[in-house]
Amino acid sequence: MSRKTIATLVQMKKEGEKITMLTSYDASFTRVLEAAGVDSILVGDSLGMVIQGEESTLPVSVDDMVYHTRCVARGRREALLIADMPFMSYSTPDQALHTASRLMKDGGAHMVKLEGGATQLETVRQLTMNGIPVCAHLGLQPQSVHKLGGYRVQGKDEETAREIKEDAMALEAAGAQMLVLECVPKMLAAEISRILTIPVIGIGAGVDCDGQVLVVYDMLGISSGRRPRFVKDFLPEAGSIPAAISAYVQAVKERRFPTEEHSFQ
């Protein structure tokens, strides 16, 4: 396994090789993910729910994210490391620059991820002009769960589908170098993946995205609460955590995950 950069992932997209991504929050899990050949690791603000026991991602602080990103960075050797910018830590371009610099300088992240479309274009420009790689996030945006009225599929009607597609193109033009699409119809995700030159990573967005991401606790069946439709528990068949993560990687690479069962029309 060679060291992954954003240029590596762009080349993988060009060659049609699926990109694998999982979340991690500590050094030990990170070493297991790397041994399985995971291409990119996301330190997600999902840690608020799966690590801290919160009901949403909203209470997660920048200090929390820096701490967990640093833990993951200590265990990482080759995967591209992305860190979420938490709720209300990038409400202005200048605030975003401060948050991102902490995640990269203190946390060791290679890239930061933020949620939002047209309203984030100036922030994306500010970050990229200052040498900070950005992963955008469209579709279901967990930090906006109260505004969206819950964890619901986005882009099901023609108008919202068009908005998501337009936002995706605008974010790429503003400098975003990767995009996560969460809980959108598979045909919409496939179209966006074709249009954009940057890698598009799906979660509940069908098999035709350039890659897939899941919360690692979800794909091991050890998170609490109702399991989202787009999640598959890989642990029972594999029998161990390392084997389950390897099975996930192979299933994504071979286009066996996600299936229709894990996708939205």
Q: Is 182 a catalytic residue?
A: yes
Please pick, among 34, 115, 172, 182, the residue that the annotation labels catalytic.
182
DSSP 227: P
Please state the φ and ψ torsions of residue 101, each to the nearest 5 degrees. -65, -35
Residue among 155, 112, 116, 119 nearest 137 (CA): 116
Q: Give the span between the Cα atoms of 105 and 103, in whole angstroms.
A: 6
**What is the Cα–Cα distance from 183 to 224, expressed in whole angstroms?**
20
Paired tokens of 69: 């990103």
Looking at the chain, which runs of residues are DSSP E strands? 19-23, 40-43, 80-84, 111-115, 134-139, 178-182, 200-203, 211-214
Cβ atoms of 176 and 121 closer than 8 Å: no
Q: Are 77 and 34 in contact (CB under 8 A)?
A: yes
C-alpha–C-alpha distance, residues 196 and 164, integer Å: 13
DSSP string, 73-117: HHH-SSSEEEEEPPTTS-SSHHHHHHHHHHHHHTT--SEEEEE-S
**Residues acting as catalytic residues:** 182
